[in-house]
Amino acid sequence: MEQYLFGIDVGGTTVKCGLFRRSGELLEKWEIPTRTEENGRQILPDVAVTIRCKIQERNLKKEEIAGVGIGVPGPVMESGEVPGAVNIHWGYKNVAGELTEALNLPVRVGNDANVAALGEMWAGGGRGASNLIMVTLGTGVGGGVIVNGKIVTGAHGAGGEIGHAIMEPAEEEACNCGNRGCLEQYASATGIVRLAKRYLAAEYPDGGTIQAPAWLCAEKLTARDVFDAYKDGDSAAETIVRRFADCLGRAMAFYACVTDPEVFVIGGGVSGAGEPLLEILGRYYRKYAFPACRDAGMVLAKLGNDAGIYGAARLVLCD
């Protein structure tokens, strides 16, 4: 009986690994370093070695293992090939082919943000739903779209690239992707700081050194500072958080017109703001949502950095 699954999450500095039961139970997790030198050529061999060692150590039989799922930080084709992944120095790589050959086990490959969404569906905030959208508010805004229990990969591996929805066509600054006015420019951790700095510049043309709240003038202002002030009832923070929530809530209402999810799962560092974040986001989402979609759920991600290994393991069970 194929009762074990491996879930591998390749990041820029470490490769997270997990051994799971088919039920979703995490039996063990560990990490190995990501060797990005020489165009990251050692990364997949290292993954194969650590999996083989774990199989030996636990004395698992081959027929007990359903397969290996792996999430990588780049676009992934349906075939399991990766055209390139900048963070780990990869050019084109046939991930499924290489790993299958090295391990002689079924291998499934997915984009890391998409895979995290699948993990949250399997064992996290979206448990029980088979249609969901995960919105990851980190340095950028990533995401994953799940329809009928499967990742929507898209024709160019860009399914779930929801951070690059254009929210403000009149924006003058460019996003990392080259376009202007992407959601990421307002709703990522960096985007929130940007909104705060814009607020400061507009409301306190003198730089705010005298009258602006001290937290707002801090040189190393973070999104967390903004949310902390918001929770304390600071009115400047309220304005900034409202602008953020208006933009993100409107984007989420837009996504809902496309795939009409049961639930949105909010993850990433910014989601550490917790319930007050969900509350204001829900308010703006409902303001803009098509009536039939207004009662979509909104929950916090639960798996944190483990979402990737959960989702990678779950990939093996998709078809």
**Interface contacts to its own copies, rule CB under 8 A:** 75, 129, 131, 133, 145, 147-148, 150, 152-166, 169, 177-179, 246, 250, 253-262, 288, 290-293, 295-296
| Residue 27 or 292 having the CB closest to its own copies | 292
| Residue 91 or 304 having the CB closest to its own copies | 91
Write down the least CB distance from residue 150 to its own copies, Å. Answer: 7
3-state secondary structure of 157: coil
Write down the least CB distance from residue 148 to its own copies, Å. Answer: 7
Write down the least CB distance from residue 68 to its own copies, Å. Answer: 23
Write down the least CB distance from residue 319 to its own copies, Å. Answer: 10
| Residue 99 or 182 having the CB closest to its own copies | 182
Picking from 237, 287, 258, 248, the residue whose alpha carbon sits closest to that of residue 168 is 248
Sheet holding 132-137, edge to edge: 150-151, 141-147, 132-137, 263-267, 297-300
| Residue 77 or 300 having the CB closest to its own copies | 77
Write down the least CB distance from residue 87 to its own copies, Å. Answer: 16
Write down the least CB distance from residue 225 to its own copies, Å. Answer: 27
| Residue 18 or 181 having the CB closest to its own copies | 181
CA distance 187 to 167: 10
Query: CB burial class (10 A; 0-12, 13-18, 19+) of residue 212?
Result: middle
Write down the least CB distance from residue 264 to its own copies, Å. Answer: 11
| Residue 201 or 258 having the CB closest to its own copies | 258
| Residue 178 or 233 having the CB closest to its own copies | 178
Q: Facing residues of 7 across strands?
A: 18, 69
- Amino acid sitting at position 179: N
User: What 8-state DSSP symbol labels residue 50?
Assistant: H
Q: List C-alpha distances in Å: 184 to 104, 139, 175, 285.
A: 40, 9, 8, 17
3-state secondary structure of 72: strand
SS (H, E, C) 220-257: CCCHHHHHHHHHCCCHHHHHHHHHHHHHHHHHHHHHHH
Phi, psi of 230 (to 5 degrees): -60, -45
Q: What angle is formed at CA 280 by the lines to CA 279 and CA 283, rounded to 5 degrees?
A: 90
Write down the least CB distance from residue 131 to its own copies, Å. Answer: 5
The structure tokens listed for 216 are 């707002």
User: What 8-state DSSP symbol labels residue 180?
Assistant: B
| Residue 70 or 167 having the CB closest to its own copies | 167
